[in-house]
Structure 1
Amino acid sequence: MHGMFWGAAAFDQELPAAFDTSAVTDMSYMFNGAVAFNQPIPAAFNTVNVEYMGSMFNGAAAFNQELSAAFNTSNVNEMANMFNGAAAFNQPLPATFDTSVVTDMDGMFWGATAFNQPLSTFDTSAVWDMDNMFHDAVAFNQNLCHFGDNFDQYSYVTNMFVGSGCAYKGTPTNAAGPWCAVETCSSPTPPPVPSKHPFTDNTELRAAIQEYLGQDCPSGDDCQARSTYGGAVSPPWFHPSSIAASVPLTSLFAMQIGEWDVSSVDDFSRLFVDDSDDPIDGADSFNEPINWDTGSATSMLYMFYGASAFNQDLSAFDTSKVENMDNMFLLATAFNQDLSAFDTSAVTSMVLMFGGASAFNQDLSDFDTAKVENLAGMFNHASAFNQPLTTFDTSAVTHMAYMFHNATAFNQDLSDFDTAKVEDMSGMFYGAAAFNQQLPETFDTSVVTDMAAMFHSASAFNQPLPAAFDTSKVVD
C-alpha cells in the first residue's frame, strides 16, 4: 500500500469495514499529501505485519482520527516523517503503538502543530535518528526524560525541538537533556509503564475520574504532583486518600483514561457528576476516547450526564448485560455517534436517554427494545433527532410521557408502535413542532390514564385521530 493515496488531495471517503490490511508490510507514503482525508480507521486496518510507515500521514493536514488497538506497530522500523505536516492530528497513541524496533524517527512530528500527547511508552532503544523529530510542533511540550536512557546511541538529534512548544528547545547534549519539558532530568527513567489498572466498583472509578479531570486539591490532603505520572489537564495533582488502597494511582495516572481496566465494574452510573448530581470540574470539556471493556456493566444510568463536550466512538462498548440506560446521554449536547453496535436486549428503561442531547441524530434501527417498559422523555429536547423508529418494539412499554417533548425536528411514522400497555402519554408530543404523522388505527390508548398536554404546541400536527384512540380511562 506504499503511496496508495499519495497526492489524492480531494479524497475524503470512509474506508470500508472490509479494508483488511493484516498482510500488508509497507504503508509508507500511504496518505502522503491527502490533505482532505479525515475518516475513521476501520477495525480491519490491522498493521501487525507492517514494517514501513515513513511519511504515512505526511501532509495529511486534516487527519485527526483515533488509531485503534489494531494499529500495531511492533514490526515497524521506519517512522521518519510519519506525521510530518499532519497539522490537525492530536490523538493519544494506542498501547499497541510499539516503537521497540524503530530505527528512524527523523521529522516524525515535524509541523504536527496540534500534537501534544504523552509519549511515555515510546521505546527508543533501537533509534539512531531523531533529527527534526518535533520541529515546528508548536503545541508539543511533554516530558521526554526517558529518551535519555539511550542517548549514547543517537547519531542525530539536531533541531529536534526547534520551533516546538517545548519549554526547553535546545539540542540534548547528554542523557540528562534538555528533553523538551524538562531542562535537566535528574533520572532519565520515569516510573515504569504500568499494566492496565483494574477497578472493582463504581465508587473507585468515579473517584479516579474526579482526580483525572483535576479537582481542586483540598487543604490537608496528601496531594502529589501528577506531572510525574501523566494526566490530561491542570492542576497536576492527585490525593491517594480518596480512593481505596487497592488502587495504585502512581500506576493509574501514567496512562490515559481510555486505557483503564474497568472490566470488573458493573455500575457505570454518574461518572461525571458529584454526589449532588452536579457536573464535576472538567466534565464539561472532557472529550477523550474511552474504549473500555464494559462487559460486566448492568447500569449506565446518567453515565455521560455532565460531559457536554463528549463526542467519541463507543462502538467497542459491550452493553449486553445493561438493564438501565436512563439519562445516559442527558445534556450530552455534543454527542452524535453511531450506536448501531449497542446491544440493548436486556434494557428495561430508557427514561431521558437522549434528553437534551441536542446534536444527536443517529439511526437506532438496531436497538432491541423488547424488554423496555419506560420510554418517558427518551428524546426530550433532542432537537436534531429525526430518525425512523419502525423497528422499535414497544409492546412492553407502559410510559411514553414527554417522549418527544421539544424534539422539534422529529416527524417519523409511528405505525409500528404498540401502545396497548401504555398508561401515561402526557406531553408525548409537547413542542414536537414538525410532527405531522397520522397515528395508526392500532394506536391503542385503552389503558391510558394521562394525556395532559399530549399535543401541546405540536404546531404542525393536523391528523385525524384513529378509532383506537380510546379515552375511556383518561383522568387528566
Structure 2
Amino acid sequence: MMQMHSPITSVILVLLILLVASSPQVYAAQCFAANNELKDAAGRYVDNTWSTADETEYGPIEGWCFTDQVTSMSELFKDASAFNEDITAWDTSSISDMREMFNGASVFDQDISNWNTSSVTTMSRMFMLASEFNGNIGGWDTSSVSNMRFMFFQATQFNGDISTWITSSVTTMESMFEEASLFNQNLSLWNTSSVTTMKNMFRRASVFDQDITTWNTSSVSDMSFMFHKATQFNGDISTWITSSVTTMESMFKGASLFNQNLSLWNTSSVTTMKEMFSGASVFDQDITTWNTSSVTDMSFMFFQAKQFNQALSTWITSSVTTMDSMFQGAVKFDGDISGWNTSSVTTMKEMFRGAIVFDQDITAWTTSSVTDMSLMFHRAKQFNQALSRWDTSSVNTMAQMFEGASLFNQNLCGWKDNFPYNNAENIFQSSGCIFRSTPANDQGSFCIVSDCEPSSEPSSQPSSEPSYQPSVSAMPSSQPSSEPSSEPSYQPSVSAMPSSQPSSEPSSEPSYQPSVSAMPSCSPSSAPTEAPSKPTGVNLFYAIWVEGNEGCRNDGDEPDYMAVNPTEWLSSTMEACCKKYFVGYLYDACMGRYPPDHDDCNVMLFYPDWDGSNKNCLDDGKEPYYMLSNHQYFLSNTREECCEKFYDWDFYTCSGTTPELTHGEFYPDWSGGGSTCLADGNKIPDYMIGNQKWFLSTTLEKCCERHFYWDINDCLGTTAVGTDKWYASYEDQKCVQDCSGAPPCGGVAEPWDQKYTSKEQCCKGQLSWVAKCRFK
C-alpha cells in the first residue's frame, strides 16, 4: 500500500528540492591537501596542460576546495597573462600567504570580494602588474597582514575603496601604490603606527591627492621616493612624526604641485636628502629649523626647484660629504648659506649651475676636502664673490667652473699654487673675467690678473723643491737704512712705477722699440718709425711692464733676478716673450702692430660704462685702460653687441630698443608647475634676453630635450610608451622591457637607465652576477 505524505511533509520536500536547485553546484571531487599540490595543479591549468584526469580528480577550478593544510597561494597565478576564471566561491579561510598571487595576471578582474582573508599575513606583490584588476575588496579582513609591499604596483586600473582596511599590523608599505596611475581613494583612517618603510609608496601615483594628515609615522625609517612623480599630491603632512626617518632621498622629486609646510619635521636622524625636492617646481617653504646634523648627502637636493628661495643659514652641514648639483637650476635661489660648515664636502660639482640669481657671500667656506669643482658656477649669471682664499689643495678638476658666469670678475691668484692646470679647461669661458684663457702655470692669467705676483707672505709649508734663487722682498723699503749695507745690493733699486715727468737728459741708449701710447695716434707720422737694430751677440728676450711702453727686449739689460733664472723669465724669440707676458692689445703693441679694430680712427668702439648709474654702452673713446688691454673682450662694433654681452638681463634698457621676437622658436617656461616649452610669441622672460642662443630652440623637441630631459614626455605632451628596449630592474634582479603593460614590460625606463637591444645584452651588461637573469 503506497505511503501517503501529509500536506506538511510535501511542502517540506518541495522546499528542499528548491533549496538544492538554487545552491551552487557541489562537485564530488578531491580537495587539495598540500601547498605544492595546489601550486602544481594551478600551473598545469594556466599552461593549458590541465587534463581530463585532473578535472575528474579536482573538479572545475571554480569549485576547487582546500583542506586546512593548504596555507599558501603565493605565486599561484603569477605571470598567467590570460587567466580570468571565476574563483569567487573559493574558501580561503586557512590561507596565510597570498604573496604574488596575481602578479602579472594582466587580464584578471573577477569578483573576489567575499574571500575570507582573516588569516593572511602577507599580500606582498599580490596584484602587481594586474593591469585590469579593479575588484571590490574593500570588505577584506586585513587585520593580520604585515606585508603589503608592492601590493598594487602598476595595477593601472585599480581604484577600489579600501578606506576601512585594518592596517595596524602592517610593517611595510613599500611601493604599495607605485605607478597605480588611477588610484585616488581615501586612506585617512588607516593605522600606520607599525609601518617602518613607506619607500616608493605613491611613486608615480599620478592622480593621488588624499588627506593622510593623521597618519602615525613614528616608526617609519624610510620615506625615500615616497611621492616621487606624484604630480597631483599636495596634502598637508605638516604634523607627521619623522624622528625615526633616516632617508628622505627623492621624497618629493618631481612632485610638481607639492608646496606644504614642513617646518615642524624632526630630521635629526636623516642621513640622506639626495634629490629630496629635485623637480619640485613650486615648493618654497621655510625649512630653516630642520636639524641636518646627520645628513651626509645633499646632492641634487633642490635641482630644478624653480621657486625655492629660503634662507638655510642655520643648517648644520658638518657631516655632508657631497653637494653635487645641490642648487642646479634653482633659478630663484639666493638664500644666505654663508655660515655653512663644508669641511667634509668632497664634491661641489655643478652645485650652482644655472642658479642664475645666486650671489651670496660664501668666501669663508672650508673647501680643503673638495676634489671636484667642475661646472660649479656654470651660468650662475649673477655670481661675483671673492673666492681667492678658498683652499683648493685637494681639487682635481675645475673644468668649466665659471663658464657663462657673466658677472664673475675676481682675482684668483690665491689659487695659483694649488690649481689643477691639466683639468681646468674653459674655466673662465664666457665669464666676466678680463682674461678668460685657462691658466697655464702659476703666473696666470687668473680671471682679472694676467700675471700673478709672487706671494708677499711665506707659504705655511716648505715647497717641494728648492727655490732657484734667494727670496727677495716684494718691494724695497720706503726709507733708507741708517747705515750702509755691508755688501752691495743684488741689483739697483727700481721705483715701483716710472716717474710721470720725463728725465732732464736723454737716455744713453735708444729703446729697442718705439714707445707706444695707450691707443695709436689718429694722425700718421710724417715718416715711418724704424725700430733700432738688435744689439749683437744677445739672443734672449725679457719683458718690460712700463705702462705705455710695454714690450720685450733683448738688449742684455734684463734685471739680475731674470738673468739668474733664464728658464723662467727669458724667451728665445720676441713672439714667445710677447705671448707669455702680454695679452690682447698689449700683445699687438709688443709685436709692433695694432689691432685691426683701431685702424680707422673715425670709428669708435662701444664699451660697458660700469662707472655710470645707467645700464649703458658708450663709444666716446674714454674706455678704461684695462679694457684697451683686452679689447677683443670688452670692445664691440655696435651698441647692441655690447648690450647683449654685458647687460643681457636688461638688454632693452641698454640698447634703447623694444623687444623683437625670433618667430617660431621655443623657450623653457620655468614659471609654471610643469615641464613646458612655449613659443617665443609669448615674449621670453627678461633674464633670457641676451642669451637667446642658449635658451631658445628651433623646435619644441629640441627645447624639451635641452631643458627638460628628465621629463621629456610631459614636456612634449605625449604619453610615455617606452622604446621596447631592455633595461635592468635591480629590485627584481632581472632585465625588463622599456614599456608599459604586462611582462616582459617593466614600465617606462628613466632617462638615465642604460638600454639594450636584447635581454641577453642587458643581463651581461648590468646584472652579470645574477646567474639566471636571462631566464627570469
Question: Which TM-score bucket, shorter chain as reference?
Answer: 0.3 to 0.5
TM-score w.r.t. structure 2 length?
Answer: 0.30
Higher gyration radius (CA): 2
- Whose relative contact order is higher, 1 or 2, with alpha carbons under 8 Å and at least 6 apart? 1
Q: TM-score, normalised by structure 1?
A: 0.48
- Structure with greater proportional helix content: 2
